[in-house]
Structure 1
Amino acid sequence: MVAETTVAEVMAELSALEEPKARAVNEKHGDDHGVHLSKLRALAKRLKTQHELACRLWETDDTAARLLAILICRPKAFERHELDVMLREARAPKVHDWLVNYVVKRSTHTEELRVAWSADPDPVVASAGWALTTERVTKKPEGLDLPGLLDVIETEMKDAPDRLQWAMNHCLAQIGITHTEHRARAIDIGKRLEVLKDYPTSPGCTSPFAPTWITEMVRRRHDM
């Protein structure tokens, strides 16, 4: 009963933090909550790590509660099958993104899930696999078949659903940025496929169009 009361208290606090304007902005990106992320992080900092509470909050199926759960859980406490179920439940983009970056990447099952998810027929699940692959491309590329990844990107990215396409494009860009020997091919693939070529980019931000992204990041490295 104590855990249930605690969940009720946290849910009440999240409800009090709800702001209609924040919800309107978030809903444009597919995230159905109205709590500013800075306030969510402040609440998580106050609660500190509470894994059992995190699991109970996740079970509420509330987006703000799940984001909070991600911040107060113990990533290494989850079994592989638990993370797989959680990812498939995480349909809100922000929950999906935080779960992959803050939990799965810190778990002991990252590589197994990367391989399994990358081949999953669900494009949202597959996008998580590609996000984990991009992490390896950047930080631990040993053992990865980079030419093979470029083959898949070249064949499948153009017609992939939005979230999967975005994840594959990110991987393409990182291969070009971090691996000189594959840079020319990565840029060529990006130019031919033209994925995100016309994506609106705010002043001062780098375009997600892979050839532009790669060229700009390489230039910055040389300028440092």
Structure 2
Amino acid sequence: MAETTVAGLSLATVMAELAELDDPRARSVNEKHGDDHGVNLGKLRKLAKRLKTQQELARQLWDTDDTAARLLAILVCRPKSFERDELDSMLRQARVPKVHDWLVSYVAKKSPHTEELRLAWFTDPDPVVASAGWALTTDRVAKNPEGIDLAGLLDIIEAQMKDAPDRLQWAMNSCLARIGIDHAEHRARAIDIGERLRVLEDYPTPPNCTSPFAPVWIAEMVRRGHAT
């Protein structure tokens, strides 16, 4: 791909800036979470703010297959400019947790193809891809639940969450909690499923943070008045 200079910065220049931002201490911390980069995310966001939206540069950064570059690509891209198949391919390439999470949250959720991708990813045999489908489903549960079979989702969660791979399990658990928080008519069942499956019950939670254990999470959000 020909290197494009945009806003005075070429791809090579941006990659050099990312290399300068690499911090071995940050890399050590990130690697504990499966993220193979050493760039402080605050500094990455400052660089993105300076670059502003640059769709072609975003595509070039993504194609480097470098984690920090892909995170920057997500921050400077124009989410609505990606075609459906392009986003599907990017999601399947995004195996690093932070890249996967940001791609879903910052790009897929803002795409005109969100619902089509949600349905395709939700039933994908790859659990990492399926977790993206569940994340988009959780967003709909919270913001636009019309047409979503909440009882059916609880059936799937009840049957599959306990033995699901970690990232898919986390996404299912988030959906379980969201159903319990936002839909009072399903709250008792959501809490009951959480209590019986005990998924993430012992997850280490920092002080002043809410446990991801669904019954505790639901109860805390209801107490705070964030429930419907």
TM-score range for the pair, normalised by the shorter chain length: over 0.9
Q: Tell me which residue corresponds to 1:178.
A: 182
Where does the alignment leave 5 or more consecutive residues of structure 2 unmatched? Answer: none
What corresponds to 1:13 in structure 2?
A: 17
Q: Deviations over 1:166-215 (max 9, x none)?
A: 00000000000000000000000000000001111111111100001000
Rounded Cα–Cα distance in structure 2 between residues aligned with 1:68 and 1:201? 28
Superposition TM-score, scaled by structure 2 size:
0.96
What are the ranges of 5 or more consecutive residues in structure 1 without an aligned counterpart? none
* Residue 63 of structure 2 is aligned to residue 59 of structure 1: yes
2:121 paired residue number: 117
RMSD (Å), alpha carbons: 1.3
Matches within 5 A, 1:7-86: 7-86=11-90
Q: Whole-Å Cα distance in 1 between the matches of residues 3 and 148 of structure 2? A: 47
* Separation in 2, partners of 1:196, 1:190: 9
Of residues 200, 203, 224 in structure 2, which corresponds to 1:220? 224
Paired AA for residue 115 in structure 1: L
Q: Cα distance, 1:160 vs. partner?
A: 0.1
Residue 136 of structure 1: aligned partner: 140
The number of residue pairs the alignment matches comes to 223
Moved more, 95-104 or 1-10: 1-10
Aligned-pair identity in percent equals 75
Runs of 4+ in 1 over 3 A off after TM superposition: none
Structure with the larger helix share: 1
CA contact (8 A) 2:181 2:226 kept: no
1:9-42: per-residue Cα shift (whole Å, max 9, x none)? 1000000000000000000000000000000000
Letter in 1 for 2:206: S
* Alignment-mate amino acid for residue 47 of structure 2: L
